[in-house]
Amino acid sequence: MRREIHMFFLPFLAHGHLIPVVDMAKMFASRGVKTTIVTTPVNALLFSNTIARSKESGIHIGVELLNFPAVDVGLPEGCENDDLIPTSQDGNLEMITKFFQASLMLQQPFEKLLQERKPDCLVADTFFHWATDAANKFGIPRLVFHGISYFSLCASECMSLYKPYKKVQSDSQPFVVPNLPGDIKLTRNQVPDYVKQDAETNSTKLLKAIKEAELKSYGVFVNSFYELEATYADYYRNVLGKKSWHVGRVSLCNRKNIDKVERGNKSVIDEQECLEWLESKEPNSVLYICFGSRTNFTSSQLKEIAMALEASELQFIWVVRKQKNNEEEDDWLPEGFEKRMEWKGLIIRGWAPQVLILDHEAVGGFVTHCGWNSTLEGVCAGVPMVTWPAFAEQFYNEKLLTQVLNIGVAVGAQKWVRLVGEFVEREAIEKAVKEMMKGDKAEEMRNRAKALAEAAKKAVEKGGSSYSDLDALIEEISLRSH
């Protein structure tokens, strides 16, 4: 009989990082592993309902709390999640720096916890680079969780090794990413700022620390499934020589009972109302538009999207993130837009039940910022996507969707920007959504997307690729701890 092992999970303090790690802990717990999530009090509240529901269904997930030193670094008390970082004129950079400074200060109390609890393995977010040294002190294997795809991991490594963006004459001149399978083309404009910077900055120092920590870690944990990006999973392991396990998509463990990490911005629509609206629509007739919790657009860009939607004559659900400190929050809507769109379009301000919406047969396409969580949700729902990347690794994910999987249509965003999405004109938006929903290749794309969704479901079932990789990891940690 296999000895029970104890896994610690240390997610970064941001919604996009918390959500998959909570799902991951639930997945391990459902396989008989003792699991504990280590976080701060404010973040623990965000997934307390999920923990309670899991317990009711016989899956116990422990939670350990660390005090977050927000006030010590000059942040407001309770500022423990990146969604709570105060806005400022400089694009939040000063406050973000303070937030990371406070995150570094978690190392000492975390080490104390490791010493007391002695888990068999630690899965820690890539941003907690100090977690490798902390775990190694006590002989605990540390797995790095990036929260991105194999494709993006491979592309990032090739960009770092060969620096092809230095060999082009202009910011808009395309180049092929060297040695990366698939003849993937990018421009210097689409490469993240922190990759292109030669001067030492906070971002480059953080990236260097993350890379060094990963080299000393036990391996990498990837929220993906083999059939989605087999070429890049093999390249990452066999060519780049990285030890890794693919166990995704982790949130498929919630498919029968959709859980969510609670957000501060609650939707003005409840799930039942949303479902009733979708039930009145034909299959594949509704366009879903959502740009995640971090991408912001100007009022003029939101107005451009509204006019493109009206001109497209498509039915839609559009999730608009509430603008902080904006008294006239509807000044971006064209006059009379909502009245004209009655029964045709639904605007949700704030949080939306995204998985529930995407899974509905009425939804035929998804306009996305290409964050990896959203990308996976689109893939697992079997819908083609219009890609509108802005920052982080989102331009890499766009290439995976449009050039490798052929289930995406690019809206035309060309420039990596940190917080406010690049302006795209209504004609380009209208063209992209119509091409995806009812263009010549729409049916072909939809069929490919449906096939990937089926593969995703099989991957997490007994004997599937992700199920087997998770089994192999549990067995390896069990033997090691024994």
Confirm whether 6-66+106-248+462-481 and 271-456 share one CATH topology.
yes
Q: What is the pLDDT of residue 249?
A: 86
Q: How confident is the model at residue 258 (pLDDT cuts 50, 70, 90)?
A: very low
Find all residues with CB under 8 Å of 462, minimum gap 6, and list them: none
The separation between CA 2 and the C-alpha centre of its own chain, rounded to angstroms, equals 33
Q: How do strand 175-176 and strand 185-186 relate by DSSP bridges?
A: antiparallel
Q: Classify residue 90 as left (phi > 0), alpha (psi -120 to 50) or beta.
A: alpha
Residues 17, 146, 360, 369: which is the catalytic one?
A: 17
- pTM tops 0.85, yes or no: yes
**Paired residues of 245 in beta bridges:** 221
- In tens, the pLDDT along 318-375 reads 999 755 544 455 678 999 999 999 889 999 988 899 999 999 999 999 999 999 999 9
Query: Would you state the pLDDT for residue 263?
Result: 43
Q: Please tell me the CATH superfamily of domain 6-66+106-248+462-481, with its number.
A: Glycogen Phosphorylase B; (3.40.50.2000)
How many CA atoms lie less than 13 Å away from 481 in the CB half-sphere? 21
Examine the pLDDT at 192 and tell me if it is beyond 80: yes
Rounded Cα gap, residues 47 and 39, in angstroms: 11
Rounded CA-CA distance 157/163 in Å is 10
Is residue 125 flagged as an active site residue? yes
Angle, vertex CA 409, rays to CA 424 and CA 173, nearest 5? 65
Is the pLDDT at 384 greater than 60? The verdict is: yes
- Give the start-to-end residue ranges of the domains of the chain: 6-66+106-248+462-481, 271-456
Q: Domain 271-456: give its CATH code.
A: 3.40.50.2000
308: pLDDT confidence band, cut at 50, 70 and 90? very high
Are the beta carbons of 103 and 128 closer than 8 angstroms? Answer: yes
The CA distance from 87 to 415, in Å, is 23
Alpha-carbon span 94 to 89, nearest angstrom:
10
17 is catalytic: yes
- Min mean pLDDT across 256-265, 309-318, 345-354 is at 256-265
The CB-side HSE value for 377 (13 A sphere, CA atoms) comes to 30
Angle at 368 between CA 364 and CA 371, to 5 degrees: 130
Residue partners of 410: CB distance under 8 A and separation at least 6:
386, 387, 398, 402, 432
pLDDT of residue 320: 92
Of the candidates 82, 125, 259, 469, the residue annotated as catalytic is 125
Q: 285: helix, coil or strand?
A: coil
